[in-house]
Structure 1
Amino acid sequence: MSGFTLDSLHECLDALAPLELMGMTLLRSSHQLFPTGLPRNTLREAVAELVAYTERCTKTVAQLVTLSPIPLAAVSVVEYGI
């Protein structure tokens, strides 16, 4: 992350578009826990997408856990008296 400032990291993360997963869209549109009347292939794609997304999130968390803390000497957190 060399060259990133706190502000540039914030701007970078703010620029990311929200991820729209097919499974979540189907759940919101169906008003019930398990959408009915869907083509089998659509349901299969939605489930596969959710499983793949969950696996990517799990791998990302595993990578984040191994990162060393970075001291933020230039940031004052007045809420905690630091």
Structure 2
Amino acid sequence: MAFENVKSIIKTGLPDAHVEVLDMTGTADHLDIVIISDSFKGKMLIQQHQMVMDLLKESLKADIHAVQLKTMDYATAEKRGIKL
């Protein structure tokens, strides 16, 4: 699956999201995805990941074998020094 498709799927469900997708193996089916969105504010990490996995569930059935997620809100990203 093309990285832009993954970004598009996530941004459809989380319109304010900043999304970065990296290929972990060179086969485009093991992805490292960083998502920053204020939709995550006040949610536990597991809830944040569930939100993303719900968006990607159809792609996980066919195109994506493994996903590593890093999720946070914009305030947390700023505290961690993440430049967007």
Say yes or no: TM over 0.5. Answer: no
TM-score interval, normalised by the smaller of the two chains:
under 0.3
| TM-score under structure 1 length normalisation | 0.25
Larger helix share, 1 or 2: 1
| TM-score under structure 2 length normalisation | 0.24
Larger strand share, 1 or 2: 2
Structure with the greater relative contact order (CA < 8 A, sep ≥ 6): 1 or 2?
2
Q: Considering only CA atoms, is the larger Rg found in Structure 1 or Structure 2?
A: 1
